Amino acid sequence: PVDALDPYLPDLRRSLRPYWSVVRSGVERRRAARAIMDSAQKGVLDLPARYLHPPFENFLAARLSATPVTPNQITVLTAILAFTATYLFATGGYGWALVLALVTNVLDGVDGKLARVKLKTSRFGDLLDHTLDVTFEFTWYLALGWGLSGGDLRAPLFLVGPALILVMLGTRAVSGVYKSLTGRQIHDHTAFDRAVRLVAGRRNIYVMLLLGGYLMDRMAEAFVLCLVWGIVTLAVYKVRAFMAWLGRDRG
């Protein structure tokens, strides 16, 4: 029976019960379309992805759903824009690089929504999306370090990039340990975890910090702040994993 199904969807990090809708009019069709789009939204996200991106994502996904455009095509387009931002970060074009980074972060949510709305999810698409996401994000930090240091590989500012990448890899590793211990993702196991996820050191948050730094003519300081915030996030995750290991994580 439907009532016996677990409403929690790990991939969406939210509970979502099955529903059906009778469509007899244009109003009912639009209502059903909104319900489908709402069901494609992930539950636990950071502040930009939760409050700023959805209107743009929904607008694009709704219109693209009626076209032959595929989610994987959006993924590739997103990567092209992202790697263009990499070049701009490396060459000192920080303003346009950040514009492309903001667009990239929005489009990164469109391909997944489009796949869910059009029922075109696939393992290949998921692998393509995550592989490109990680790759272009890491190149951003290396390129930014290169640009801010003037290409000096021994300069402290250049080393911030590799350090930030190592911190992010550490965060991913700790998240994996937490999931193996609890069976749940560290992002949404408890109310505390969900609150942390809103501001945790991740790409959307880092881009907002860098944008603030650019507007205040403090790009170097903002880049260092990203690293500091990443270290704080990693420390919090380590504490949560340690609590899980001790068996004190009651959820």
> What's the CA gap between 206 and 48, in Å, rounded?
11
> What's the CA gap between 18 and 176, in Å, rounded?
29
CATH number, residue 105: 1.20.120.1760
Whole-number pLDDT of residue 15: 62
Residue 36 falls within a domain, yes or no?
no
Whole-number pLDDT of residue 33: 72
Residue 23 falls within a domain, yes or no?
no
The band of 4, judged by pLDDT with boundaries at 50, 70 and 90, is low
Strand ranges in the chain using DSSP code E only, listed in sequence order: 8-9, 14-15
Average pLDDT of the segment spanning 227-234: 98
Average pLDDT of the segment spanning 181-190: 87
For residues 89 and 140, the answer to whether their CB atoms sit within 8 Å is yes
> What's the CA gap between 21 and 39, in Å, rounded?
13
- Containing structural domain, residue 163: 48-245
Average pLDDT of the segment spanning 81-106: 98
The band of 100, judged by pLDDT with boundaries at 50, 70 and 90, is very high
Domain count along the chain: 1
Q: What are the Cα distances from residue 86, in Å, to 134, 140, 144, 207?
A: 13, 5, 8, 13
Q: What are the Cα distances from residue 157, in Å, to 23, 137, 198, 220?
A: 58, 17, 27, 7
pTM for the model stands at: 0.90
Contacts of 218 (CB under 8 A, 6+ apart): none
Whole-number pLDDT of residue 25: 77
Mean pLDDT across the chain? 90
Residue 103 falls within a domain, yes or no?
yes
User: φ, ψ for residue 14 (rounded to 5)?
Assistant: -160, 165
Contacts of 222 (CB under 8 A, 6+ apart): 209, 210, 212, 213, 214, 216
Q: CA nearest 47: which of 196, 246, 224?
A: 196
Residue 92 falls within a domain, yes or no?
yes
Residue 6 falls within a domain, yes or no?
no
Q: Is residue 160 over pLDDT 70?
A: yes
- Evaluated on CA atoms 185, 188, 194, 197, the torsion sign reads positive
Residue 28 falls within a domain, yes or no?
no
Q: Is residue 251 over pLDDT 60?
A: no
